[in-house]
Chain A
Amino acid sequence: MNWISNYVKPTINSLFSRREVPENLWRKCDECGTMLFHRELTDALMVCPSCQHHMAISPRARFEALFDGGAFVTVPVPEPLADPLGFRDQKRYGERMREARRKTGEHEAMLVGEGTIGQAEVVCAAQDFSFMGGSMGMAVGNAIIAAAERAVAKHCPLILFAAAGGARMQEGILSLMQMPRTTVAVQMLREAGLPYITVLTHPTTGGVTASYAMLGDVQIAEPNALICFAGPRVIAQTIRETLPEGFQRAEYLLDHGMLDMVVHRRDMRDELATLIRMLMSLPPRSHGDLPAPEAAAPAPLPEPAPEPAPAAKAPAAKAEAQPPRG
């Protein structure tokens, strides 16, 4: 895949060298306890091969698996004021931020990227649960607004992957104000006639669920994801109601009419590609699409094409997206 190096060099390079993960690392499945080889797990997009539990996946790893050829350009997000309340619990907010940045190698809890999926232009935003629980603060709000503005400018859909424990308490009321702010972002898309698709991943709770996560034109969830406003523990403690099996999990929400579908992570890319092409009134997708970027594939056609091909195709390329590793 050496053509990738000709394509959006800075971003790709930075992600290839970003985190050096020891290849011999073992990891235990959070759900079934099986010990999994790290390489095996990342190849399976962090889905446990033995119980199919969907573990958290970083926004970058998700984007690499999602965008054609793993290639995307990050969309810049305006930097909010740092720690406007001077918040301190047992630790200072600034200290928690530094820790989260060191741990994840990311700047904030949401990454926005643009590129193509199945050759259709798209903007994607993904929340990073490993960054302070994915919590929704001003930076996440800014990221969603930037993503919506970019999608409107490009006239393409926005796909948002939610994962958060809720609002970022360290930003107090300003985190709560991300509920209306992100709702304005959704309205921008609606008014521009552009699809807004949400993918709810484990866990999506609190103010995040009660704003942008639940306003999708189409709502998808990953299997067994916990999706709720008030979590099961809060309900059990305050109301003392006994909760049924599978309560607030993706399949339960599907049964109760709150979602359109539950989609396995390995199928997500195909489902999204099909969906956005229909919503954008594009012709059906031709399969086996790993597009060669135009810059790298200027090869003149040997014979005149009967009609202009909608997109160049690399004929023998495998459709399956392998997350590139450095």
Chain B
Amino acid sequence: MQNYLDFEKGLAEIEGKAEELRALSRKNPDAPVEKEAAALDQKAHDLLRDLYANLDAWRKCQVARHPDRPHTADYIRALFTEYMPLAGDRNFAEDRAVLGGLARFDDRPVVVIGHEKGNDTRSRIEHNFGMARPEGYRKAVRLMDLADRFRLPVISLIDTTGAYPGKGAEERGQSEAIARSTEKCLAIGVPFVSVVIGEGGSGGAVAFATADRLAMLEHSVYSVISPEGCASILWKNAEKMKEAAAALRLTAQDLLKLGVIDRVIPEPVGGAQRHPDETISRVREAIASMLAELSGMAPEALRSARRRKFLDMGSKSLV
């Protein structure tokens, strides 16, 4: 069962028709429909290709949030072996919005950290829809420390709407937790690569994405604020999210031009949600290649290059 986005309505109709024809031919094998159905398939494929070659910023936000996109747990299963989840911030709680632990990537031990949104009602609640509380960032700090002490590269996967706007999260200092996590990102002396696989939402994303190398999937987004939030503040109207999305320049393509990210990982036609396995394997190649770029660098060299990278940001313009 395919979940269609609003701009995929035309596509849904064509694919629905093709499906109807095939259902008809199953009941009535003599009906000469296969040729017609194949033509519809081709039409659907062309439409999909054209749609996804020209996604505007708001559509990219919709694709980035698509529930069928592979999530952190899917990547962990497919990319790593011997994954050993580690839990807890040693202070208050285990935050299931953030998954992480030890694992092997191409046999090499690494630390993996990522936001997990969940994929059905039960798991979404378990993972708080990928919105970390302070304990999630504090767990990440623990894991980054562990990586630093045992000289293991860190791989982070970014997929969050943002930090959790809740009373408890505020009381337990989520600002401080995010700030410390970002600070830890900039302090560790091991290779650190990160991939935005869906949504990179504000401070909750920065807390794990402040890496030596940051890649984004072709239709993922990374932004200071959600288009809806920006629209409600600057346009005083949350319905203006399309305008806000365009103005924020939050697409992978624009962020590459601004020098904020290092590479864009192409998604298969129709987006990661239609081809999770192919997408994950492209992410694997990107991670391997980014790690290779950092191999052999001494801890101090890694740290100072990482800091320099952020200090130098802001020299490129889109206008």
Residues of A at the B interface (CB closer than 8 Å) are 80-81, 83-90, 138, 141, 145, 167, 169, 171-177, 179-181, 183-184, 186-187, 206-207, 209-215, 227-230, 234-235, 238-239, 241, 243-244, 247-248, 256-258
Give 12 new A-B contacts, CB below 8 A, not counting A172-B250, A229-B169. A80-B314, A84-B316, A172-B247, A176-B224, A180-B185, A183-B183, A184-B307, A207-B203, A214-B173, A215-B180, A229-B170, A258-B175
Query: Is A85 a contact of B319 with CB atoms below 8 Å?
Result: yes
CA A87 to CA B249, docked complex, whole Å = 9
B315 within 8 A of A: yes
CA A214 to CA B170, docked complex, whole Å = 13
24 sampled A-B residue pairs with Cβ under 8 A: A81-B315, A138-B314, A169-B224, A169-B230, A173-B224, A173-B249, A174-B314, A177-B260, A179-B206, A184-B310, A187-B307, A206-B203, A207-B203, A207-B224, A210-B174, A210-B203, A215-B180, A215-B183, A229-B165, A230-B169, A248-B170, A256-B172, A257-B173, A258-B175
Query: Is A235 a contact of B166 with CB atoms below 8 Å?
Result: yes
Partner of A87, one of B203, B247, B255: B247
B87 within 8 A of A: no
CA A84 to CA B315, docked complex, whole Å = 9
Query: Is B170 a contact of A183 with CB atoms below 8 Å?
Result: no
List residues of chain B with CB within 8 A of the CB of A214. 173, 175-176, 179-180
Give the residue name and chain of the B residue nearest to A234 (CB): B165
Flag B212-233 by CB within 8 Å of A: 1 or 0 each.
0000000000111100001001
Looking at chain B's contact residues, is the secondary structure mostly helix, strand, loop, or mixed?
helix
Query: Is A177 a contact of B313 with CB atoms below 8 Å?
Result: yes
Residues of B at the A interface (CB closer than 8 Å) are 163-167, 169-176, 178-180, 182-183, 185-187, 202-203, 206, 210, 222-225, 230, 233-235, 243-244, 247-250, 255, 258, 260, 307, 310-311, 313-319
Q: How far is the CB of B176 from chain A (nearest CB, A)?
A: 4
Query: Is B258 a contact of A179 with CB atoms below 8 Å?
Result: no
Partner of B202, one of A207, A238, A239: A207
Query: Is B311 a contact of A243 with CB atoms below 8 Å?
Result: no
Q: How far is the CB of A255 from chain B (nearest CB, A)?
A: 9
CA A141 to CA B247, docked complex, whole Å = 21
List residues of chain A with CB within 8 A of the CB of B235. 89-90
- Given A86-B318, A176-B223, residue A235 in contact with residue B167 (CB < 8 A): yes
List residues of chain B with CB within 8 A of the CB of A241. 166-167
List residues of chain B with CB within 8 A of the CB of A145. 311
Partner of B314, one of A177, A213, A215: A177
CA A124 to CA B3, docked complex, whole Å = 54
Query: Is A175 a contact of B224 with CB atoms below 8 Å?
Result: yes
CA A135 to CA B210, docked complex, whole Å = 21
Query: Is A181 a contact of B311 with CB atoms below 8 Å?
Result: yes
Partner of B173, one of A86, A212, A230, A258: A258
Query: Is A84 a contact of B318 with CB atoms below 8 Å?
Result: yes
List residues of chain B with CB within 8 A of the CB of A87. 247
List residues of chain A with CB within 8 A of the CB of B210. 179-180, 183
Query: Is B234 a contact of A89 with CB atoms below 8 Å?
Result: yes
Q: How far is the CB of A298 from chain B (nearest CB, A)?
A: 43
Give the residue name and chain of the B residue nearest to A200 (CB): B175
- Given A81-B317, A172-B248, residue A184 in contact with residue B186 (CB < 8 A): yes
- Nearest 4 A/B pairs, CB to CB: A230-B165, A209-B175, A86-B319, A89-B234
Query: Is B310 a contact of A210 with CB atoms below 8 Å?
Result: no
Query: Is A174 a contact of B258 with CB atoms below 8 Å?
Result: yes
Q: How far is the CB of A142 from chain B (nearest CB, A)?
A: 8
Give the residue name and chain of the A residue nearest to B166 (CB): A239
Query: Is A89 a contact of B243 with CB atoms below 8 Å?
Result: yes
Give the residue name and chain of the A residue nearest to B317 (CB): A84
Query: Is B173 a contact of A256 with CB atoms below 8 Å?
Result: yes
Q: How far is the CB of A174 from chain B (nearest CB, A)?
A: 5
List residues of chain B with CB within 8 A of the CB of A90. 234-235
Query: Is A187 a contact of B311 with CB atoms below 8 Å?
Result: no
Query: Is B175 a contact of A210 with CB atoms below 8 Å?
Result: yes
